Structure 1
Amino acid sequence: MIPLRKNIAEMDGYVPGFQPKDEGAWIKLNTNENPYPPSPRVAEAIRAELGDGEGLRKYPDPPSSAAREEAARLYGFDPAWVIMANGSDELLNNLIRAFAGEGEEIAYVHPSYSYYATLAGIQGARVRTFGLTDKWELADFPELYEGKLFFLTNPNAPLGFTYPLEFIEELAGRVAGMLVVDEAYVDFADENALPLVRKCPNVVVTRTLSKSYSLAGMRLGLAIARPEVIAALDKIRDHYNIDRLAQAAAVASLSDQDYLRGCVEKIRQTRAWFTGELRVLEYGVIPSRGNFVFATPPDRNGKRVYDALFERKILVRYFSDPLLSHGLRITIGTREEMEKTVAALAEIG
């Protein structure tokens, strides 16, 4: 018998969104990828770093110094407050490893990013979830939550709504451990929690370059927190966690804010148009601040519509969770892709 740890043997693995092999044959709106390419500076930086290939025989800079410095400059922090990672998932994992021992508790909002539970299971930590009221407020949250970590996905995924900064600051005072504000989609929203990192010692903000920066294929993320938190995360990350090409891509992408703003604005405009079209079709749509919407068909049968779209080679995300099965999460693609999706939804009825 293979002597696996009991919690690993018994846990379920996380199931990511379906990735078809013939991607070009599909309208792919299921994994919240950006429909536009990354900044042209990214390809230039990768080509420059690659050169004749000589650099690839050497290890990358262990702390990703240039990328940390660029992120720190962009967000107005000292580099000691910033860490780079192999996707923000690495940060979420290492935060649990750093703060929650086996049998200790972490918590998150349900529904939100279900991968928190998988990461907790790997560590052997216990999981507690807090539901939402019909006004998207936390249900039954205690005056003081005494678990080690509380994850707040803001904007919420898969629903798309945001919590105001005032609420997050209040919540930080009600969390005895660390409050991790997962801002994977924040560039599509109107405000962020970075000001709270300085005001509240227990706030950590995590970001990804997969969504707004169009770098899902490079696996890049970052966190901003007090230097003592960053130092702890530095201790436990893989010492060469970001390769040379990804580090060059991160610097180039973060430095081109004009390009970022242009892509984000196109997605926000398409999001507004698509939301309006869905409502014409009598879909319920939660106002979204992400690069996706959560939409409910009139008959509240998300699986029926998912299957019909799949037959038409349009991929969206369906969740079997009873709290979500009535609807679909639909990534905002190009205007042309969303027009085709609207036409398909009208045909499906």
Structure 2
Amino acid sequence: MIKLRKNIARMAGYVPGYQPEDPATYIKLNTNENSYPPSPKVIEAIIAEVGEGLKRYPDAASRAAREAAAELYGFPPEWVIMANGSDEVLNNLIRAFADDGDEIAFVYPSYSYYATLAEVQGARVKTFGLTEDWKLKDFPKIYDGRIFFLTNPNAPLGFTFSQTYIEELAGRVSGTLVIDETYADFAEVTSLELVRKYDNVVVTRTFSKSYSLAGMRLGLAVARPEVISALDKIRDHYNLDRLAQAAAVAALHDQEYLRETVVKIQETRQWFCDQLGKLGYTVIPSHGNYVFATPPDRNGERVYQGLFDRKILVRHFSDPNLAHGLRISIGTQAEMEKTIAALVEIG
């Protein structure tokens, strides 16, 4: 008889955004992927790595990638760890800091996968809602849980917490404050300096969005060396393959291409928001590569289905607090123009 751990048997598991079998036939705006290709230098680096070297194990420490990230962000390499997607480092932070029954917390709404990772570990979950001015509702003077996850910019809503407020939270979290900066490149704000000032702050990043490398599964964290050392103990010893490491180094070195891509997305985001406003949609000002938009009749499911029928994928959440709207990734200008035309038809 199969005897699973009780928490694993009863948990539902995380459900990612819909992935069609034939994505080329859709305008895919439902998973915040980057519609632009990765840097040509990344492609060159991957191709150069293919060959005899693949019969050898990769560098277990991903040293070249760590050094490239450390140089870019202005930290010593021992303050950086590379990961198999930022999800790996989020998972390992819970494994490192939370025992069975310990509490972790995050903002609601934000990345719901935090709850799944906590369930796997057997940790308890607490959430804090938002006030109208984008602060945490009923947050205690001192939060004494083991980890507090703060997604900044917030997903799915797109707003950013001010750096002053985040620094205030760093002093109010007695455990570890993990600032998930998945979309920070689109916002041009970062809490990396708080890692220097507070020993309980960790910043995580991903290559999936701004670097157009969702298919490579690359992420990183910046934290104090003692935290990085702990994460090194529990990660898979060859967690990044040779191709991923080559891609990471090339992407980090090509900041000019990153900036060009980000500017395109920011400009298209502004245009798209303006057009949504003309259609009567309510749009939360976004600092990510997506917007959360509410149609005039507040029936997000109706508009989602209308777009789906026209082969345009966006994200609709069944959660009653989000069901009135849609999270729409920002694609190319041409893709967003087609999306606006479809919304006009749907009405």
Q: TM-score range by the shorter chain?
A: over 0.9
Query: Counterparts of 1:22 and 1:70 in 2: how far apart (Å)?
Result: 36
Structure 1 moving runs of 4+ over 6 Å = none
In the other structure, the counterpart of 1:173 is 171
Residue 91, structure 1, aligned to residue 89, structure 2: yes
In the other structure, the counterpart of 1:157 is 155
Task: Tell me the CA shift for residue 190 of structure 1.
Answer: 2.7
In the other structure, the counterpart of 1:126 is 124
Q: Report matched runs for 1:1-349 at 5 Å.
A: 1-50=1-50, 53-349=51-347
Query: Counterparts of 1:291 and 1:47 in 2: how far apart (Å)?
Result: 28
Q: 1:37 corresponds to which letter in structure 2?
A: P
Q: Deviations over 1:255-288 (max 9, x none)?
A: 0000000000000000000000000000000000
Q: Deviations over 1:33-73 (max 9, x none)?
A: 001000000111111111xx211111100010000000000
Query: Counterparts of 1:164 and 1:82 in 2: how far apart (Å)?
Result: 24
Q: Which runs of 5+ in 2 are unaligned?
A: none
- Helix, strand or coil for the counterpart of 1:111? coil
Q: 1:159 corresponds to which letter in structure 2?
A: L
Q: Deviations over 1:100-158 (max 9, x none)?
A: 00000000000000000000000000000000112221100000000000000000000
Query: Counterparts of 2:195 and 2:30 in 1: how far apart (Å)?
Result: 32
**TM superposition score normalised by structure 1:** 0.99
Task: Tell me the CA shift for residue 2 of structure 1.
Answer: 1.4
Q: 1:24 corresponds to which letter in structure 2?
A: A
Query: Counterparts of 1:111 and 1:165 in 2: how far apart (Å)?
Result: 19
Q: 1:321 corresponds to which letter in structure 2?
A: D
**Identity over aligned pairs, percent:** 73
Query: Counterparts of 1:316 and 1:348 in 2: how far apart (Å)?
Result: 14
Query: Counterparts of 1:81 and 1:3 in 2: how far apart (Å)?
Result: 40
Query: Counterparts of 1:12 and 1:134 in 2: how far apart (Å)?
Result: 31
Query: Counterparts of 1:312 and 1:215 in 2: how far apart (Å)?
Result: 27
Task: Tell me the CA shift for residue 193 of structure 1.
Answer: 0.2
- Helix, strand or coil for the counterpart of 1:299? coil
- Helix, strand or coil for the counterpart of 1:247? helix
Q: 1:39 corresponds to which letter in structure 2?
A: S
Q: 2:269 corresponds to which letter in structure 1?
A: R
Q: 2:24 corresponds to which letter in structure 1?
A: G
Query: Counterparts of 2:278 and 2:297 in 1: how far apart (Å)?
Result: 15
- Helix, strand or coil for the counterpart of 1:252? helix
Query: Counterparts of 2:205 and 2:168 in 1: how far apart (Å)?
Result: 21
Report the aligned-residue RMSD. 0.5
Q: Which runs of 5+ in 1 are unaligned?
A: none
Question: How many aligned residue pairs are there?
Answer: 347
Q: Deviations over 1:230-256 (max 9, x none)?
A: 000000000000000000000000000
**TM superposition score normalised by structure 2:** 0.99
Query: Counterparts of 2:133 and 2:66 in 1: how far apart (Å)?
Result: 38
